[in-house]
Amino acid sequence: MSPIDTVGCSYEQYKATADWLLDRTNHRPTVAIICGSGLGGLADSLKEQMIFKYSDIPNFPHSTVSGHAGRLVFGMLNGKSCVCMQGRFHFYEGHPVWKTTFPVRVFHLLGVETLIVTNASGGLNEDYKVGDIMVIKDHINLPGFAGINPLLGPNDDRFGERFPCMSDAYDKELRRLAAEVSRDLGYSAITHEGIYCGLAGPSYETIAESRMLRILGADAVGMSTTHEVIAARHCKLRVFGLSLVSNKVVMDYESLDRANHEEVLQAGKHSAELLEKLVTHIVGRIDCNSNMS
């Protein structure tokens, strides 16, 4: 099947997957968390866990990337029923773009109201340091400029409207809550709010490309997230995003630095604990903000 295949799954297939999961767990999650490269430890901190391998879930894709365990974990996080993806699906793995977002629509049918996306990213902003955390304010879906979008093909009104608004993609109240929690935890010095740019990958950016992305206004760059967010907003889920700066993007032709995936995973190990603590506190306080839309 071509990665740009637009046929997708039927509503009945999404529902069959959701029903299969609901029949096998007593958890009824209201929050879903997608864990990026090296950040799967967040799922391990859930209480009362119920774990499903992706390979056992009907219609679910399989993750092939190092640092992605390939498990769906249900459990309690700071008093909230959650479901965590230990490993996401990427366009560069050869999945059609609608398949990379398949779990998001399943989450919607499970009753999830809020989606938290996390990723490891390269820092474009010169003020960002390795190990910093960026609260995603907005994104640039660069593959979307070439027509790569998870909503391609016939629209199913049972999920959402044909032309979803994306100017409010990342929930303002959740971002405000994140700033409060960061101050409370003493993380203000390492937490920023910025623009994430999603690319198709799997090759890293050239220096010219990186400079272009910075001119466009991107603060961090990665190979995931944007398509998941589009699918989530199509389903009217609230979205909150965190990006762990795992490496500084090479912007100087004289630099001897080279981007590599092992560096990404190592940075995740060093800083993931801070990000996990931040997410845990945010999840515990989500319902304190009753005006969120």
The residues assigned a catalytic role are 37, 68, 90, 92-93, 120, 223-224, 247, 261
SS3 call for 31:
strand
SS3 call for 44: helix
Q: Which residues contact 49 (CB under 8 A, 6 or more apart)?
A: 73, 74, 75
**Residue 173: closest CA among 293, 280, 275, 80:** 293
Q: Is 67 left (phi over 0), alpha (psi -120 to 50) or beta?
A: left
d(CA 95, CA 209): 24
Give dist(CA 115, CA 293) in Å, integer: 13
| Token pair for 27 | 């958890």
Distance CA 81, CA 144 (A): 33
Q: Residue 154, preceding bond cis, omega within 30 degrees? A: no
